[in-house]
Structure formats: structure tokens, C-alpha cells
Chain A
Amino acid sequence: MRILIKNGRVIDPANKLDRVTNVYIANGRIEAVADSLEGFDAEREIDASGQLVLPGLVDLSVRLREPGFEHKGTIASETRAAAAAGITSLVTPPDTDPVIDTPAVAKLIRRNSQAAGYCHVYSLGAATQKLGGEHLSEMGALKAAGCVGISNAYTPIKNPLVEKRVMEYAATFDMTLFLFSEDPSLRHNGCVHEGAISTRLGLPGIPEAAETVAVARNLALVADTGVHAHFSQISTAKALQMIARAQYDGLPVSSDVAVHQLFLTDMDIGEFDSQCHVRPPLRSQRDMQGLREGVRKGTVNAICSCHQPHEADAKLRPFIETAPGISALETLLPLTLRLASESRMELLDAIARVTLEPARIIGIEAGSLSPGVSADVIVADPEQEWTVGPETLLSRGHNTPFRDWDMKGRVNHTLLAGKPVFSRK
């Protein structure tokens, strides 16, 4: 099908483009981005006047909950929500049940997501068998099965020697290692940032050092092994500085932050609001400012949703017993737009953090509107206001601390390889 998206403000970080023009799509691919294209006979026209036309978002951390946790979400329910949120490519971590440590599980996820047809789904393979942190997984087979990276999810690899070998083995296959940096001994039984708020509420704290110690160890091992390492969901300004320094020194490292870390701090926990129970924990105001600055300057390469849908009961307990995580797909784009305006950031740069840069980290040809690439394109109204609530979210998880927040910016059309997969009525 030939589609013309007319008169939108087209933002394409890959081509440093930000102006009102047209996007021409044919045979599922971008034909051209231009003011006119001779001989193009559109079968369908989308009028994007006053709206943004962007490459589909690329989200580096989305838990689809299938297989194993279908009461929280399924590949079909969550990829449908992703399409409505303008996310056309997503990366799913290996902590499903069974975990993604065999090609069979990776293939199951790919098959089910292709059947759902809403979104390109890429898996991370488990770094160790059953995520146990002891025995290397069959990374060669996982790569052959389509995994775009390796990760041990939230499970720490306690033994540094095992971690070093994981890095060496991943580097053998040129696979990017996604690292969640949290020292388990320093985390201990903590559930919130250690500081005035943990002290006031009497909740066990997770010190800043739980992250900085783990990042320091990981950086030393990266330097030793040369693996491409991606630091997921950094929460402290200090750890980010360490990573930025390593990047400056030429280490092959990148990083992302979860979008909620750019808007919330431990103060938002208030009187034990379990919707603010996340991992890593919400940190201090200073950390939030540091992360925002990192996003602005580009030392934070990507912003992810860190989507973790839960059933309502998972949050209906005393704080420490609740499941951490936020259902976050559908707030990713409006919060990114809001960040751009609050941090006085060029929209082009902000959009790059949720499109081009995450695509580069996993080495896929997405997040751009260059001629010939898959036409994963979204049309979003940057001025449309909506209120976050159970009735406005498509994800099966309604767990969000942004409930009742007024958001600005909403996706009206999502095209996946030139096919409409979502249109707002």
C-alpha cells in the first residue's frame, strides 16, 4: 500500500531533520521524505497538519509477561498497548518463566508477537542458565535464534569471575551485554532510596553505593574484556558520571534511564504509595537533576519505559511486600515531550533518545525515516491533552504513579512496516 503522510512536522534524528513536510511510504518502506514526489499515487492519505511525524519509538525494556505471567499481561495485550503508545520496536528481558535461556523460548516469543502483529519484538537472552548466575547460557544458539543482546535481568551475578566469563563469552559473539547494576549485598533487604525518606518512613534503604559499587565493578570488567556493555536503568547521578567518564575514555559502553526516574523522586512515595515502588528505587532530587542533565547532554543514550505491568493485587499490600514496577508504555512519549520542554532540549535530541539511539544500541535498522528502511512511523498530536487512568490505558497493567497526571501528546496513528496497526478513533 502506498501511503502519504501530509504536512506534518517531521522529526528524524538520523537525518537531522525537523520541519514540516511529507512522508511517502510504499511497499512497507520509506520511499521519501520530501515536499513533493513526482508520480507518487497515494492509496491512502493521512493529514498530519499540526502533528508530529516520527520514527516509531524503540523501547529497550518492556516486560510482556509472556510466557509465565499471563495474569499480568500477554504478548498480545502489551504489544497492542505499545502500538497505541507509538512504540514499534521493543526489547524484552529474559526473566520470563521459563527464562529465555534456550532458543525455544526466544522463538515462542517471536512467533506469538508476529501473530499479534502490533510491534517488532526483540528478546534478550539470559546470560546464565535459568538466570542462576552460575553457568553460562548457550549464547551462540540464542544469537542464532534472534536475541539482540544478553542480560541477567534483575538477578545479580555474584561471582565476579563468572561475570568476567559472561562478558568474554558474549564478546565472542559480538553480543551487547545489558547490565543491571545493583550490588545485592548493599541492597540487602532495601526497597527505597536510602536517605531522609527511608529514615522518615522506617523502610529499609538501598544506598547509592549499591549502584556505584556495581557500576565500578562492571566498568573494570568491561575494560578487561572489551565487551559491548549497556547499563540499563541507571538511577544515580554518580553512577552516570562514572559511565560518562568511561565513554570519554573510549570504553564501548552505553546507558539508559527509565523515564519515571526523570520525573519522580523518593519524595513522591508520600505515605507509602506502592505505585512508586520501583527497582532501582526512585532516588533524590539531585539524582533526578543529574539524570536529566545526562539525557540533555547525551551521556544517557536512551530513555526507556521499563514497562512492568502488574495485576492490581500486586500493589495492594504493605509497601515492602508489593511488586516493584510501573505500567509505563503509554506514558513514554508524552513524558519525553514534557522532558524536552522542561529541560529546554531540542525536540530532535529528545526524540533521538527514544528512537535512533536505542536502535543503534541493539543494532537494528529502526528509529529513522531514511529512504528504504521499514516504514515504522507514528503520527502524534503534541497538544492533545489526556489524563492518565485505568480507562485511558490499554495495557493490562494499570499500575502507575502517574495516575491523574495531565499528559500532553498522544499518538493518533501507528504504522508498522507501512501497515496501520493503531488509529485513534
Chain B
Amino acid sequence: MIRRNIQLNEQGRLRHFLTVEGLKRQVLMDILDTAESLSGVTDQTVKKVPLLRGKTIVNLFFESSTRTRTTFELAAKRLSADVLNLNISTSATKKGETLLDTLHNLEAMHCDMFVVRHADSGAAHFIANHVAPHISVINAGDGSHAHPTQAMLDMYTIRQMKGDFHPLVVAIVGDIMHSRVARSQIHALTTLGVTEVRVIGPKTLIPKDVEALGVHVYHSLDEGLRDVDVVIMLRLQIERMQGELLPSEHEYYQLYGLTQERLDQAKPDAIVMHPGPINRGVEIESSVADGNRSVILQQVTHGIAVRMAVMSICMGSHAREIKEGGAA
């Protein structure tokens, strides 16, 4: 039995964006190119294009997030779509309405796209498997599984700073275990064909058999950063540092905090990235976060163009599928 990738339509175009894993290089390059062509919109005085006029996009956030939700909202508005923000706390769903009930209620309101964030890995896949066929689903972060738009905006930033992916050595530092961002970045980087992806952290934060994703594991920051082109720091949740996985904030910063000195191990033109929000003095020194090699704020800016690209591609392939389906 050949099971089709549920992210793709009959023509092999992206209709849901749930994970980077399993997508071809060309699909990823298409997102980056579209984002580039849309990035000009933000610079105009009238910051809008009519690509998604008349479409309704629902930001369905089961887990709170301000930044991600805001950039998705801005992206949708710049594409002229109508946007509905729904923050559904888990306590509300515990009152009895299941995730599926919530979905079917929203479908009944004739929405075209769900942007979903949920605390459970696989929630976006679950939703995509059960929505009506006219709806696209974009994963805005599911548990520790995937955060594909974040990974793509990181790829966009890397391409803008470095050009070609092939010669690059990229290090991802910190809590790989719980990071959906890291997983999506690893899939994106290996698909786009970088030379090497390294993950750096103590064994309590490195998931088992992570080498199977195509990365090299380092436990020493100094060794891991040697001659890298891109350093991606991950956010460390404060609750991880209270003795369960790490003894203290202090020791973590001593061993894995990115300081100016440590950064000298990397190539002289290496860039420093962080998906935010950053913990100054915990995983990264302020002078590095604000320094001339940091591209952290550019990442945020690129987030809007990349999300516009993903939304318009998913909706476009959808419209095409429905139109072609109707003509046949």
C-alpha cells in the first residue's frame, strides 16, 4: 500500500504544512523563493497584496504564544485574508468538547485555513487527517514534534546571509530533546543539503538515537562550535533547570552558554541565530545576542514573509486542486 504524504495534493504541491520531514528540496526552495518575492510587500506604504482576499484564516492556539500568533496574523492580513484568533486553553477543552468537536464547529463557519498550535506532538497531523477537504492546515508548533514555519524562516535567514546551503556547517545548541524547532531545522538543513549538522548539549537534553536524523552529536560546546558557519541557540525552558535535567542555570551557562569567547571557535563570519524569546545570561551572553554577528531580529522580520509564502502556496495549490477537480 502506498500512502500518499498527506501534506501534498494530487499534483505533489503543498496543501498542508505540518512538518518539513519528507518534503522534497524543491518544495522548500519554492517556499524560500516565494517568501523572497513577497518580502517587498512589507516595505511598501500600503503593506498589502490581495492574494488571499475573501479567505478566512483561523489561528487556532491551544497553547499560548504571542510572537508566533502575531506574525501569522500579520502575514494573513498582508495577504488580505480575514483572520480569526482563537485561544483555546486546555481547561476549556477539558470541559468535554473534544478537539474534533472544536474543529467541526469551526468548519461549519466556512473557514479556509487553520493555523494550529498544540501542546501534543502529532496534533497538527491529527487535525489535517480529520478536516474537511477544502481546509488547509499549517502547523504552528505541535508538542516536541515540529515547527516547520520557524525552521523555514531560519533557512530563509541563512540563505540571505550565506547564499548557498551546500558548504555550510551548522550547530544547534541546547535542549534538542524538547525542541520542535530543532527537529524541523534538522530536517530542513539535511534536505537543503548542508555539509554537516551538529547538535550540542548534555546527554539529558539530547534525545536517543538522534544520529538517525542525520546529525553529529557533541557534548562539548568548544569542540562542537569549531569552524561552524551558523550557530543556532535554542531557548532553555526555566523549568528544565531545576534539577531534573540540569543541576542549575549557573552550570548550564558555564558549559553551554554562548559567549563572545566561545564564539571565536566558529568561523570568523559565523552568524548567531535564536528562535526567541532569548534568556540573556542563561543560554546566550547579551553582547553576543546584540552583537554584529547576531541575526536574531532579522529572523523575526523574515517570519512574516515566510509565513505569507507558506499560506499563499498552501491556499493556491488548494484552489488549483478544487478547480481542476471540478473541471474533470
Contact of A203 with B145 in the complex, beta carbons under 8 Å: yes
Can you name the residue of chain B whose Cβ is closest to the Cβ of A317?
B99
Q: In the complex, which of the residues B100, B144, B146 contacts A316, with contact meaning CB atoms closer than 8 Å?
A: B100
Contact of B122 with A271 in the complex, beta carbons under 8 Å: yes
Chain B 1-36: CB-based contact to A (< 8 A → 1; otherwise 0): 101001000000000000001000000000000000
Contact of B209 with A199 in the complex, beta carbons under 8 Å: yes
Q: Taking A316-B98, A316-B100 as contacts, is the C-beta distance between A195 and B121 under 8 angstroms?
A: no
Contact of B125 with A196 in the complex, beta carbons under 8 Å: no
Q: In the complex, which of the residues A194, A201, A317 contacts B208, with contact meaning CB atoms closer than 8 Å?
A: A194
Interface of A is mostly: loop
What are 22 inter-chain pairs, A to B, with CB distance below 8 A?
A: A195-B208, A196-B213, A198-B207, A198-B208, A199-B209, A200-B213, A202-B145, A202-B146, A203-B121, A203-B144, A203-B145, A271-B6, A272-B126, A316-B98, A316-B130, A317-B126, A318-B99, A318-B118, A318-B121, A318-B122, A319-B120, A321-B120
A318 to B123, CA, bound (A): 5
A38 to B299, CA, bound (A): 91
Chain B 101-131: CB-based contact to A (< 8 A → 1; otherwise 0): 0000000000000000010111101100010
Q: In the complex, which of the residues A202, A270, A272 contacts B144, with contact meaning CB atoms closer than 8 Å?
A: A202
Q: In the complex, which of the residues B3, B99, B120, B146 contacts A320, with contact meaning CB atoms closer than 8 Å?
A: B120
Contacts of B180 in A (CB 8 A): 202
Q: Taking A200-B183, A272-B126, A313-B98 as contacts, is the C-beta distance between A320 and B212 under 8 angstroms?
A: no
Contact of A195 with B209 in the complex, beta carbons under 8 Å: yes
A271 to B208, CA, bound (A): 19
Contact of B120 with A196 in the complex, beta carbons under 8 Å: no
Closest 10 CB pairs of A and B: A202-B144, A202-B145, A272-B122, A318-B120, A196-B212, A196-B209, A199-B207, A202-B121, A318-B123, A319-B122
Query: How many chain A residues have a CB neighbour from B under 8 Å?
Result: 23
Q: Taking A201-B121, A202-B144, A202-B180 as contacts, is the C-beta distance between A318 and B126 under 8 angstroms?
A: yes
Q: Which of B159-188 contact A (CB under 8 A)?
A: 180, 183
Given contacts A201-B122, A272-B125, 14 further A-B contacts (CB under 8 A): A194-B208, A196-B209, A199-B210, A199-B212, A200-B183, A203-B121, A205-B208, A270-B3, A271-B125, A272-B121, A316-B100, A318-B123, A320-B121, A321-B120
Contacts of B6 in A (CB 8 A): 271
Contacts of A318 in B (CB 8 A): 99, 118, 120-123, 126, 142-143
A203 to B126, CA, bound (A): 14
Can you name the residue of chain B whose Cβ is closest to the Cβ of A313?
B98
Interchain nearest-CB distance for A29 vs B (Å): 47
A318 to B93, CA, bound (A): 13
Interface residues on B, range: 20 to 34
Q: Which of B138-162 contact A (CB under 8 A)?
A: 142-146
A204 to B120, CA, bound (A): 10
Can you name the residue of chain A whose Cβ is closest to the Cβ of B124?
A318
Contacts of A201 in B (CB 8 A): 121-122, 145
A204 to B121, CA, bound (A): 9
Interchain nearest-CB distance for A406 vs B (Å): 11
Contacts of A313 in B (CB 8 A): 98
A404: Cβ under 8 A from any B Cβ? yes
Contacts of A272 in B (CB 8 A): 121-122, 125-126
Contacts of B146 in A (CB 8 A): 202
Contacts of B209 in A (CB 8 A): 195-196, 199
Can you name the residue of chain A whose Cβ is closest to the Cβ of B176?
A199
Q: Which of B195-223 contact A (CB under 8 A)?
A: 207-210, 212-213
Q: Which of B215-254 contact A (CB under 8 A)?
A: none
A198 to B145, CA, bound (A): 9
Contacts of B207 in A (CB 8 A): 198-199, 205
Contact of A200 with B118 in the complex, beta carbons under 8 Å: no
Contacts of A319 in B (CB 8 A): 120-122, 126
Interchain nearest-CB distance for B325 vs A (Å): 24
Can you name the residue of chain B whose Cβ is closest to the Cβ of A272?
B122
Can you name the residue of chain A whose Cβ is closest to the Cβ of B7?
A271
A409 to B316, CA, bound (A): 49
Interchain nearest-CB distance for B147 vs A (Å): 10
Contact of B208 with A199 in the complex, beta carbons under 8 Å: yes
Contacts of A200 in B (CB 8 A): 21, 183, 212-213
A312 to B254, CA, bound (A): 51
**A194, A195, A200, A202 — which one has the most chain B CB atoms within 10 A of its CB?**
A202
Can you name the residue of chain B whose Cβ is closest to the Cβ of A318?
B120
A316 to B100, CA, bound (A): 8
A313 to B98, CA, bound (A): 9
A105 to B209, CA, bound (A): 46
A201 to B18, CA, bound (A): 12
Contacts of A207 in B (CB 8 A): 208
